[in-house]
Amino acid sequence: MNAANCHEGTGAVLDLQFDVNVWNQYTDPAIRTANLLTKILENDNGSLDSLTDDLFFMMVRNNVHGNSLIFGSAIAIESHVYR
């Protein structure tokens, strides 16, 4: 960084407004997946052992296939929760 090139701002303002509806399209699949897994954890005494690896794969695949805005999905699980 060269301090000689740094000057105060121009005073210009970038007029942006956050659109929650667009953000929801990105977050809804993750929220639905988290809610489903939370319900299973509640019903199965804090374990996801009743699920299979194939089911987890289908969940993340459906997050991606269900929305063209989403290009990746993952589920992070602590080792004591799932075999």
pLDDT in tens, 27-61: 899 999 999 999 999 999 999 999 999 999 999 99
For the chain, give the mean pLDDT. Answer: 88
pLDDT, position 62: 92
Residue 56 lies in a domain: yes
Residue 11 lies in a domain: no
pTM equals 0.70
Domain that holds residue 80: 18-83
How many C-beta atoms surround the C-beta of residue 68 within 10 A? 8
Residue 7 lies inside a defined structural domain of this protein: no
Q: Which residue has the tokens 């210009």?
A: 12
Domain count, the chain: 1
